[in-house]
């Protein structure tokens, strides 16, 4: 591999998933992992196998099913963790064990209750054990940026002796500054190893808004792997945002001495949209690269400039990140063939989805809103891919509301195949719908968050609703899309109830921390 190649290590499914409100179920993780493979990431950190049965299953399934990227599982330094990680990864084709231990004084003293010499022993033992299973072993010194530099040199040297092939330098708490971090990476490469056999990696957090800047500074010092997440989700303020790193390297290629990633940039926007849809959290409009306004030129003088030459105010094109997609694509007269063709262009295999169901919903949608955009079609397919077992199913809904009446919702549903119906009054139409659904399903969850968003622009745009529900300490996110936001609201609520129903049989997740 060229020494200019920067590997993208995606941890959306591990660090990202640990963030509040970002948990995903098994099916969702698999759908996202497949998209990450399409996006061209080099490594997918699929989970922390010992953390929970759900994490274990996700790593196992993704290692079995997803081809292309290296599939990685996280493990603390203990034997149990490493054995469990390997158990999850063993059926994969290209796999990596990622093991870590903290090396800062505060973490060693107050968390691990181990002295520095003891931690060194752990590093050697953990990496050796992992290496016994797998040729590809990554070692992380947790809280590296608050660790003593000379001690870090000893730690990484020990990891190399034990067989580590990637040395990760995490800014676990988002504390470092770009220049300081660049110096640290340079120091480590000088004193640990400048050999091409060892790859330095960085893992930055955004507590001070510097995760991308720090990662880029590290690349200038020779780091050749960046750990990051789609939309920058992650613990606290989040991780380094994948799309920002990929586009910075692409846009400023010369400044980075020709360094580049293997990211298929045209897949960036769909990846961002898919993640938002799964976790029900949209990115802020001003978010770099993937925000709604990232390519909108509002000021007259700017518009004038862009019209005569796009390069006056545009350093990258929306098309390069897959955002040229908002043109009219299909209408009510489009047939099966046209839809199948468009699905293929969007990267979906019509054979692998329930095409007839998608076609039926596409026709309904085309009737309701005339113009159907790529984003609408993507939303339909994703909706189908993410459906869980439908214990609760919406049959019909009717809502009366306005200034003259008390909002009233009549809802017909099937519960485990049995038809039920009720009507309820509410403070508003959504409240009335939710009260009716709650009564029919006899559920006791609490609504923590309700969010509605338009998928595309225009008066006839589809509404996309995301809700967060909590029951007995378990939180789930439900989504629904429709041209009628009350129908979308009902779908989202029922989707979340189905996920809660499914969760009851699979247990809850516990977090063990991480780097
Ligand atoms: Mn992290």
HSE, side-chain direction, 13 A CA sphere, residue 86: 16
Q: By three-state DSSP, how is residue 122 classified?
A: helix
How many whole angstroms from 266 Cα to the centroid of ligand 1? Answer: 26
Residue appearing with tokens 């339909």: 380
Is 155 within 8 Å of 141 (Cβ atoms)? Answer: yes
Report pLDDT digits (tens) over 263-308.
999 999 999 999 998 998 889 989 999 998 898 776 667 777 777 7
How many whole angstroms from 170 Cα to the centroid of ligand 1? Answer: 7
Is residue 328 pLDDT above 70, yes or no? no
Looking at the DSSP bridge assignments, the partners of residue 298 are none
How many whole angstroms from 103 Cα to the centroid of ligand 1? Answer: 15
Least confident residue range of 21-25, 299-303, 358-362, 453-457: 299-303
Is residue 336 pLDDT above 80, yes or no? yes
Residue appearing with tokens 């010992």: 50
Phi-psi region of 222 (alpha: psi -120 to 50; beta: other; left: phi over 0): left
Q: Does 301 map to a domain?
A: no
End-to-end CA distance of the chain: 27
Residues 231 and 377 in one domain: no
Token readout for 508 is 């809850």
Q: Which domain holds residue 353?
A: 328-382
Of the residues 248, 279, 310, the one at which a domain ends: 279
How many whole angstroms from 245 Cα to the centroid of ligand 1? Answer: 16
Is residue 395 pLDDT above 70, yes or no? yes
Residues 174 and 200 in one domain: yes
Q: Does 65 map to a domain?
A: yes
Alpha-helical runs (H) found in 192-253: 211-220, 242-251
| CA dihedral for 50, 53, 55, 56, sign (positive or negative) | positive
For helices 374-386 and 355-369, what crossing angle results, to 10°?
140
Q: 220: Cβ–Cβ under 8 A, 6 or more apart, which residues?
A: 182, 256, 257
How many whole angstroms from 205 Cα to the centroid of ligand 1? Answer: 6
Residues 445 and 370 in one domain: no
Residues 147 and 219 in one domain: yes
How many whole angstroms from 174 Cα to the centroid of ligand 1? Answer: 9
CA Rg, the chain, in Å? 24
Give exposure, 182-200, as e/b (b: 16+ Cβ within 10 Å): bebbeebbeebbeeeebbb
Residues 488 and 345 in one domain: no
Q: Does 402 map to a domain?
A: yes
How many whole angstroms separate alpha carbon 48 and alpha carbon 33? 15
How many whole angstroms from 240 Cα to the centroid of ligand 1? Answer: 9
Of the residues 352, 382, 412, the one at which a domain ends: 382
How many whole angstroms from 396 Cα to the centroid of ligand 1? Answer: 44
As for how many domains the chain has, the answer is 3
Share the mean pLDDT of the chain: 92
Least confident residue range of 169-178, 197-206, 301-310: 301-310
How many whole angstroms separate alpha carbon 342 and alpha carbon 353? 14
Residues 235 and 336 in one domain: no
How many whole angstroms from 236 Cα to the centroid of ligand 1? Answer: 9
Is 392 within 8 Å of 441 (Cβ atoms)? Answer: yes
Model confidence band, residue 252 (pLDDT cutoffs 50, 70, 90): very high
Residues 70 and 196 in one domain: yes
How many whole angstroms from 152 Cα to the centroid of ligand 1? Answer: 18
Q: Does 332 map to a domain?
A: yes
How many whole angstroms from 203 Cα to the centroid of ligand 1? Answer: 7
How many whole angstroms from 10 Cα to the centroid of ligand 1? Answer: 11
Residues 483 and 362 in one domain: no
Is 454 within 8 Å of 461 (Cβ atoms)? Answer: yes
Residues 214 and 256 in one domain: yes
Report pLDDT digits (tens) over 500-509.
988 765 544 4
How many whole angstroms separate alpha carbon 220 and alpha carbon 234? 24
How many whole angstroms from 464 Cα to the centroid of ligand 1? Answer: 30
How many whole angstroms from 53 Cα to the centroid of ligand 1? Answer: 21
Q: Does 513 map to a domain?
A: no
How many whole angstroms from 201 Cα to the centroid of ligand 1? Answer: 13
Tell me which residue of 40, 43, 39, 72 sits closest to 55, measured CA to CA: 72
How many whole angstroms from 513 Cα to the centroid of ligand 1? Answer: 9
How many whole angstroms from 228 Cα to the centroid of ligand 1? Answer: 9
How many whole angstroms from 20 Cα to the centroid of ligand 1? Answer: 13
| CA dihedral for 375, 378, 383, 384, sign (positive or negative) | positive
Is 389 within 8 Å of 502 (Cβ atoms)? Answer: yes
What is the pLDDT, as a whole number, of residue 511?
59
How many whole angstroms from 66 Cα to the centroid of ligand 1? Answer: 23
Q: Give the strand pairing for 199-204 and 166-171.
A: parallel
Tell me which residue of 29, 8, 9 sits closest to 509, measured CA to CA: 29
Is residue 250 pLDDT above 80, yes or no? yes
How many whole angstroms separate alpha carbon 333 and alpha carbon 371? 11
Q: Does 121 map to a domain?
A: yes
Residues 440 and 409 in one domain: yes
Q: Does 136 map to a domain?
A: yes
Residues 106 and 18 in one domain: yes
404: domain CATH number? 3.30.160.270
Report pLDDT digits (tens) over 461-477.
888 999 999 998 888 88
Is residue 345 pLDDT above 90, yes or no? no
How many whole angstroms from 16 Cα to the centroid of ligand 1? Answer: 8
How many whole angstroms from 364 Cα to the centroid of ligand 1? Answer: 43
Is 371 within 8 Å of 394 (Cβ atoms)? Answer: no
Model confidence band, residue 326 (pLDDT cutoffs 50, 70, 90): very low
How many whole angstroms from 298 Cα to the centroid of ligand 1? Answer: 36
222: domain CATH number? 3.20.20.70
How many whole angstroms from 15 Cα to the centroid of ligand 1? Answer: 5
Count of beta carbons in the 10 Å neighbourhood of residue 342: 18
What is the pLDDT, as a whole number, of residue 507?
45
116 burial (CB, 10 Å; 0-12 / 13-18 / 19+) is middle
How many whole angstroms from 74 Cα to the centroid of ligand 1? Answer: 11
| CA dihedral for 440, 443, 444, 446, sign (positive or negative) | negative
Residues 249 and 176 in one domain: yes
Residue 25 CA: distances (Å) to CA of 262, 359, 474? 28, 26, 12
How many whole angstroms from 514 Cα to the centroid of ligand 1? Answer: 6
Q: Does 374 map to a domain?
A: yes
How many whole angstroms separate alpha carbon 454 and alpha carbon 470? 25
How many whole angstroms from 48 Cα to the centroid of ligand 1? Answer: 12
What average pLDDT does this structure show over 423-437?
Answer: 96
Q: CA torsion 487→491→494→496, rounded to 10°?
A: -140
What is the pLDDT, as a whole number, of residue 508?
46
Of the residues 382, 406, 423, the one at which a domain ends: 382
**DSSP characters over 253-300:** TTTTTT-B----GGGHHHHHHHHHHHHT-PPPTT-TTTSTTTT---SH
How many whole angstroms from 379 Cα to the centroid of ligand 1? Answer: 30
Report pLDDT digits (tens) over 57-73.
999 999 999 999 999 99
Is residue 193 pLDDT above 90, yes or no? no
């Amino acid at each position: 591999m060229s020494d200019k190649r920067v590997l993208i290590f995606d941890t959306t499914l591990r660090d990202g998933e640990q963030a509040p409100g970002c948990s995903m179920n098994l099916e969702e993780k698999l759908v996202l992992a497949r998209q990450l493979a399409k996006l061209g990431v080099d490594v997918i950190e699929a989970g922390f196998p010992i953390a929970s049965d759900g994490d274990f299953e996700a790593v196992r399934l993704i290692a079995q099913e997803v081809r292309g990227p290296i599939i990685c599982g996280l493990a603390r330094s203990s034997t149990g963790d490493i054995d469990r990680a390997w158990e999850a990864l063993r059926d994969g084709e290209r796999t990596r064990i990622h093991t870590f231990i903290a090396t800062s004084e505060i973490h060693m003293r107050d968390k691990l209750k181990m002295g520095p010499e003891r931690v060194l022993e752990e590093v050697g033992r953990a990496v050796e054990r992992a290496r016994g299973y797998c040729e590809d072993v990554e070692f992380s010194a947790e809280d590296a940026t608050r660790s003593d530099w000379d001690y870090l040199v000893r730690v990484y040297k020990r990891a190399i002796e034990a067989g580590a092939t990637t040395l990760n330098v995490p800014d676990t708490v988002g504390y470092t500054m770009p220049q300081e971090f660049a110096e640290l990476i340079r120091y480590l490469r000088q004193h640990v190893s400048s050999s091409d056999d060892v790859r330095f990696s960085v893992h930055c957090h955004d507590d001070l808004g510097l995760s991308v800047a720090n990662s880029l500074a590290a690349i200038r010092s020779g780091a050749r792997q960046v750990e990051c997440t789609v939309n920058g989700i992650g613990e606290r303020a989040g991780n380094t945002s994948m799309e920002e790193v990929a586009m910075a390297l692409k846009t400023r290629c010369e400044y980075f001495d020709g360094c580049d990633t293997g990211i298929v940039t045209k897949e960036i926007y769909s990846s961002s949209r898919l993640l938002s849809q799964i976790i029900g959290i949209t990115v802020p409009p001003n978010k770099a690269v993937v925000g709604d306004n990232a390519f909108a030129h509002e000021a007259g003088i700017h518009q004038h400039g862009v019209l005569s030459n796009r390069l006056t105010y545009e350093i990258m094109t929306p098309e390069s990140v897959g955002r040229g997609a908002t043109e009219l694509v299909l209408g009510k007269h489009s047939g099966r063939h046209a839809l199948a063709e468009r699905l293929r262009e969007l990267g979906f295999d019509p054979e692998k989805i329930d095409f007839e169901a998608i076609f039926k919903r596409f026709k309904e949608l085309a009737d309701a809103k005339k113009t159907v955009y790529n984003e609408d079609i993507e939303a339909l397919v994703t909706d189908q891919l993410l459906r869980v077992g439908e214990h609760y199913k919406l049959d019909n809904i009717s809502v009366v509301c306005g200034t003259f009446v008390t909002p009233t919702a009549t809802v017909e549903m099937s519960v485990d195949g049995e038809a039920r119906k009720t009507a309820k009054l509410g403070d508003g139409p959504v409240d009335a719908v939710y009260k009716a659904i709650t009564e029919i399903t006899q559920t006791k969850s609490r609504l923590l968050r309700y969010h509605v968003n338009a998928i595309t622009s225009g008066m006839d745009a589809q509404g996309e609703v995301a809700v967060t529900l909590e029951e007995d300490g378990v939180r789930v996110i439900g989504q629904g899309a429709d041209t009628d936001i009350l129908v979308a609201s009902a779908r989202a609520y029922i989707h979340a109830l189905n996920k809660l129903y499914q969760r009851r049989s699979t247990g809850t997740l516990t977090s063990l921390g991480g780097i």
